[in-house]
A and B are shown apart, each in its own frame.
Chain A
Amino acid sequence: MHTRRVVTLVGIGKQYGRGYPVLTDVDLTVHAGETVAVVGGNGSGKSTLLRILAGITLPTRGKLKDLPHSIGYVPERFSATTRMSAYAYLCHMGRIRGLSTPQAARRTEDLLERLRLEPGPDFAIRDLSKGNAQKVALAQSLMERPELLILDEPWSGLDSSAHGTLSAIIAETAAAGSSVVFTDHRESIARVETSQRYEIDGGRVRKSLQRRQGHR
């Protein structure tokens, strides 16, 4: 028996300009507390699917229903070119999400400590390594507990100690009643327990027949 629906995609298609269709007839429903994995190869349409789920880009066809108000989104590559420090950036994102300045500062300190950002919170984001920039991207998505957490290849670039932290964050988010949707390549899926698993190939999404219980 399923819980409340958090987001539903019905017949979604996406095409950029006159190019080939990136997504075709995608039907997907995410319920509260679910952890959903979308697996597929490079260029299969995973990132576009997640941007539609996050309400960032509009689909060319189909409908997006029940989109929650609070969404945390982590892009595949957070190669931010800004000279803003990680600390300042996260405080800004916290305020945009509705936190007061002291609340945003406190949450920023907690998250950066947990994720062990190196070399430090006052370093400009553009000068951070790929993995540390990814930690900043992950931290901004958690400034306020999201109803839907969307992670695009979140393990990419993270060191092994951060892998465990990320898996724990995903599990905690789902346990708190929020939903998590993430993409990755097949071998990475074993890192977390998933409620549903979809495979995407050539822009078409199909539900995996076998329900996957991963190993942490």
Chain B
Amino acid sequence: MKALIRYTLANLFVSQRFVAPTFLYLALLAVLTSNDSGPLVGVYAATAGSLLAAAVWIAVAVANAEDPAARWVALANARRTSDVTAATAVAALLYEAALGIVGLLYPLVSGHHTVSASALGIGAAAELTCAAVGTGLGLLCARPVIVRTGVSTLTGIALVLSVLLIKELPPVSPMLRRMTGGSSVRAAVPNALPFLGFAILGVAALYGCGVVAHRLGRRRD
């Protein structure tokens, strides 16, 4: 598994497919958080939402960095074919973790906020939730589940908008509303405990998407 993750990350870096989603994320970060002086948790809602969009793209970039023939070879060489999908998800998450750290720290230096451990914890949980959900959605939009670039792009955009805008769909939309005071909770720094639940739901969503993507992929390979 470690060797597969290492190979997948190496493939991502030599393909340079990480550049465009990274640029998107950093641009959103600059536009949405620079010179902000509002509550830190509200700013983290913006960084987490930005990471969601970037994570979908990054997961697609990781999965599509290999052409089909190279993917078949990796599937044959891995002892379990599910390890290849798992390695794709873990490699994407590792890269997104680096972006998430930037998303946590950048608002502290670019804006004027009251920093607290609770706010940082909520921000980290929100970034994890969005990275996990975004990676899961990305696996569903990438090869071999969706082969055509146009269909993949439109599906990815539709899925991101759905999880951001459908209020009742957990975990992303309810979490971001809670962070921005859009729900009934109006505290300056909300209770951190529910965010642990959102993060667990996000990881569960990633697992579910991974299983579906793997099963569909093995039928289409």
Contact = CB atoms under 8 A, between A and B. Distances in A.
B212 interface: no
Q: Tell me the dominant secondary structure on chain A's binding face.
A: loop
A16 B216 CA distance: 11
Interface in A155-206: none
Contact of B7 (A54, A95, A98, A150): A95
Contact of A58 (B70, B72, B219): B219
A92 interface: yes
A81 B76 CA distance: 19
B69 A79 contact: yes
A75 interface: yes
Main secondary structure, interface of B, reads helix
Contact of B66 (A72, A74, A82): A82
Contact of B72 (A54, A79, A96, A97): A54
Given A56-B81, A58-B218, A82-B15, A75 B73 contact: yes
Given A60-B219, A80-B70, A98-B79, 8 more contacts: A54-B72, A57-B218, A69-B79, A74-B73, A79-B69, A84-B10, A92-B10, A96-B78
A51 B78 contact: no
Given A51-B221, A81-B67, A82-B70, A71 B76 contact: yes
A99 B81 CA distance: 18
A137 interface: yes
Nearest to B78: A96
Interface in B3-55: 3-4, 6-7, 10-11, 14-15
Give the 6 A-B CB pairs with smallest separation, nearest first: A73-B76, A95-B3, A92-B7, A75-B69, A57-B221, A83-B14
B74 interface: yes
A56 B70 contact: no
Contact of B69 (A16, A55, A80): A80
Given A82-B15, A84-B14, A96-B4, A55 B81 contact: yes
27 contacts: A51-B72, A54-B75, A54-B76, A55-B75, A55-B76, A56-B75, A56-B81, A57-B220, A58-B218, A58-B219, A60-B219, A73-B77, A78-B69, A80-B70, A82-B66, A82-B70, A83-B15, A84-B14, A88-B10, A92-B6, A92-B10, A93-B7, A93-B74, A95-B7, A96-B7, A140-B73, A140-B77
A59 to B, nearest CB: 9
Interface residues of A, number: 35
Interface in B64-105: 65-67, 69-70, 72-79, 81
Interface of A: 16, 51, 54-58, 60, 69, 71-84, 88, 92-93, 95-98, 137, 140-141, 143, 150
Contacts of A143: 77
Contacts of A51: 72, 221
Interface of B: 3-4, 6-7, 10-11, 14-15, 65-67, 69-70, 72-79, 81, 218-221
Contacts of B79: 69, 98
Residue of B6, B69, B74, B75 contacting most chain A CB atoms (<10 Å): B69
B69 A77 contact: yes
A180 to B, nearest CB: 14
B190 to A, nearest CB: 44
B48 to A, nearest CB: 32
Contacts of A69: 79
A74 B72 CA distance: 9
A97 B76 CA distance: 10
A206 B65 CA distance: 38
Contacts of A16: 220
A72 B75 CA distance: 10
B213 to A, nearest CB: 14
Contacts of B72: 51, 54, 56, 73, 75
